[in-house]
């Protein structure tokens, strides 16, 4: 217990004595983690948005005008029995025309010259969750096109898939930037600890002479690195939260992204905890790097 007290006391003393280098290490770690956090925030929100859009996806099955009432009933029964179909709504030609007039009141002139109602009847199909992937939808719609009575099948999948691909790139960029910035954080913390080690090299030598083991000497410096990393991560979270609130409240920038303002959010608590743990890990790794050099140089 007394040893633990000694280690904590030594770590706190190191931080207090080297205030400037400690401050620089914390701020730099905070900025590097914040940069990574921006990518992570963007990635998580876009992924959430796409997932939400995928849930809303509908397939429109347009029907031939000459489809008989019996053919319509058969097709409705057949579609209703498909495992891909979660919900099915019939939109008659008249309903389609009424909807068009409601939605596009200024474009009525387009229909006037055509005489009879040119809009086809259709089924609006909501897909079952298991069949919402790009491949599943494509397979099903291709099969559907060959069914008698079906004129055309349409779904708004492409642009959502493009967005999903883009998110894949954001994910890659997040990992690349994250790794780069993590390396920067580790180096900065390693240098901070190295400065502390250099300043205290005589003390370390004395500790060795009185029989202190390597672990006993190193633990305060590992604690110091962990504390620096943790504080850096907490500051990064505060910066990100501040920036996020500022953007949503004052600039309204995220609301322009896909019109998804209500669905955008900050990191969930669990992700925030992981980010702090990542800071702790980076700090500890930075310390370890310095201490490995200490072991080699024997100061």
Partner 1 sequence: MIQLFHVWKHYAKRPALSDITLQIEKGEFVLLMGPSGAGKTTLLKLLFCAERADDGQILIQGKNVARIKPSGVPYLRRTMGFVFQDFRLLQKKSVFDNVALPLLVQGLSSFDIRRKATEALKAVGLEHKKESRPAMLSAGEQQRACIARAIVNSPLILLADEPTGNMDPDLAAEIMDLFKTINARGTTLLIATHNRQVVEQVNRRVVTLAEGKLASDVGAGQ
Binding interface with partner 1 (CB under 8 A): 1-3, 6, 13, 202-203, 205-214, 216
Of the pair 23, 216, the CB lying nearest partner 1 is at 216
Min dist. Cβ of residue 12 to partner 1 (A): 13
Of the pair 239, 288, the CB lying nearest partner 1 is at 288
Rounded CA gap, 81 and 237, in Å? 50
Min dist. Cβ of residue 25 to partner 1 (A): 21
Of the pair 1, 249, the CB lying nearest partner 1 is at 1
Min dist. Cβ of residue 15 to partner 1 (A): 14
Residue 92 near residue 121 (C-beta atoms within 8 A): yes
Of the pair 17, 261, the CB lying nearest partner 1 is at 17
Tokens of 237: 């979270």
Residue 272 φ/ψ region, left for φ over 0, alpha for ψ in the -120 to 50 degree band, beta for the rest:
alpha
Min dist. Cβ of residue 209 to partner 1 (A): 6
Tell me phi and psi for residue 98, to 5 degrees. -65, -45
Q: What is the DSSP string of 191-248?
A: HHHHHHHHHTHHHHHHHHHTT--HHHHHHHHHHHHHHHHHHHHHHHHHHHHHHHHHII
Min dist. Cβ of residue 284 to partner 1 (A): 22
Of the pair 217, 282, the CB lying nearest partner 1 is at 217
Tell me phi and psi for residue 91, to 5 degrees. -120, 110
Of the pair 183, 212, the CB lying nearest partner 1 is at 212
Edge-to-edge strand list for the sheet holding 150-155 = 85-91, 122-127, 58-63, 150-155
Min dist. Cβ of residue 226 to partner 1 (A): 22
Report CA torsion sign: 281, 286, 289, 294: negative
């Amino acid at each position: 217990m007394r040893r633990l007290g000694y280690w904590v006391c030594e770590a706190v003393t190191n931080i207090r004595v080297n205030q400037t280098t400690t401050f620089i290490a914390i701020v730099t770690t905070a900025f590097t983690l914040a940069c990574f956090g921006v990518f992570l925030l963007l990635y998580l929100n876009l992924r959430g948005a796409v997932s939400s859009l995928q849930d809303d996806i509908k397939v429109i099955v347009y029907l031939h005008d000459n489809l008989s009432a019996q053919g319509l009933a058969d097709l409705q029964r057949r579609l209703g029995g498909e495992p891909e179909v979660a919900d099915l709504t019939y939109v008659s030609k008249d309903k389609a025309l009424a909807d068009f007039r409601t939605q596009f009141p200024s474009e009525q002139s387009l229909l006037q010259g055509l005489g009879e109602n040119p809009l086809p009847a259709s089924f609006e199909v909501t897909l079952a969750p298991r069949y919402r992937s790009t491949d599943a939808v494509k397979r099903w719609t291709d099969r559907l096109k060959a069914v008698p009575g079906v004129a055309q099948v349409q779904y708004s999948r492409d642009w959502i898939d493009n967005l999903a691909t883009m998110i894949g790139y954001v994910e890659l960029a997040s990992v690349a930037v994250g790794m780069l910035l993590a390396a920067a954080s580790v180096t900065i913390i390693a240098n901070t600890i190295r400065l502390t080690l250099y300043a205290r090299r005589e003390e370390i030598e004395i500790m060795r002479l009185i029989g202190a083991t390597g672990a006993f000497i190193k633990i305060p410096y590992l604690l110091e690195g962990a504390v620096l990393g943790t504080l850096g991560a907490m500051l990064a979270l505060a910066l990100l939260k501040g920036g996020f609130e500022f953007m949503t409240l004052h600039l309204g920038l995220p609301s322009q992204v896909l019109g998804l303002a209500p669905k955008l959010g900050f990191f969930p608590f669990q992700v925030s905890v992981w980010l702090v743990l990542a800071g702790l890990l980076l700090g500890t790794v930075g310390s370890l790097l310095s201490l490995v050099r200490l072991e080699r140089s024997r100061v």
